[in-house]
């Protein structure tokens, strides 16, 4: 068997061991493991969908899809929304041109 094939098999075995609970065989990172209620985040700010999208740099389409449950934010958008939820005024200030 080639070195590449051996490497693939080794990695597959390590992944299976990790999934079975052997944390010494791999690593995983969970940034935010729960769903985020975008409408609730927006309501904390007191902004309309349009204004929220404009201030924080989201597309209005995404805001609508997230709020109706058609889609869920993932990755950086989810992290960003978490920060907005906790510190909306600080984020707004950081994004404003006037400091």
Q: Is residue 30 very low, low, confident or very high in pLDDT (cuts 50, 70, 90)?
A: low
Q: Are 67 and 42 in contact (CB under 8 A)?
A: yes
State the angle between helix axes of 38-45 and 49-56 in degrees (0 to 180), rounded to the nearest 10: 90
Domain assignments of the chain as residue spans, ordered by start: 1-29, 38-95
Q: What is the reported pTM?
A: 0.65
CATH fold for the domain made of 38-95: 434 Repressor (Amino-terminal Domain) (1.10.260)
Q: Are 77 and 58 in contact (CB under 8 A)?
A: yes
The tens digit of pLDDT for each residue in 31-88 reads: 565 789 999 999 999 999 999 999 999 999 999 999 999 999 998 999 999 999 999 9
């Amino acid at each position: 068997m080639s070195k590449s094939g051996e490497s693939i098999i080794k990695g597959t075995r390590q992944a299976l061991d990790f999934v079975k609970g052997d944390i010494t065989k791999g690593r995983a990172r969970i940034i935010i493991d729960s769903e985020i209620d975008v409408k609730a985040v927006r309501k904390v700010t007191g902004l309309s969908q349009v204004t929220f999208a404009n201030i924080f740099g989201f597309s209005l389409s995404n805001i609508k899809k997230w709020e109706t449950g058609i889609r869920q934010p993932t990755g950086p958008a989810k992290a960003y929304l978490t920060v907005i939820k906790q510190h909306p005024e600080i984020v707004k200030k950081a994004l404003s041109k006037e400091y």
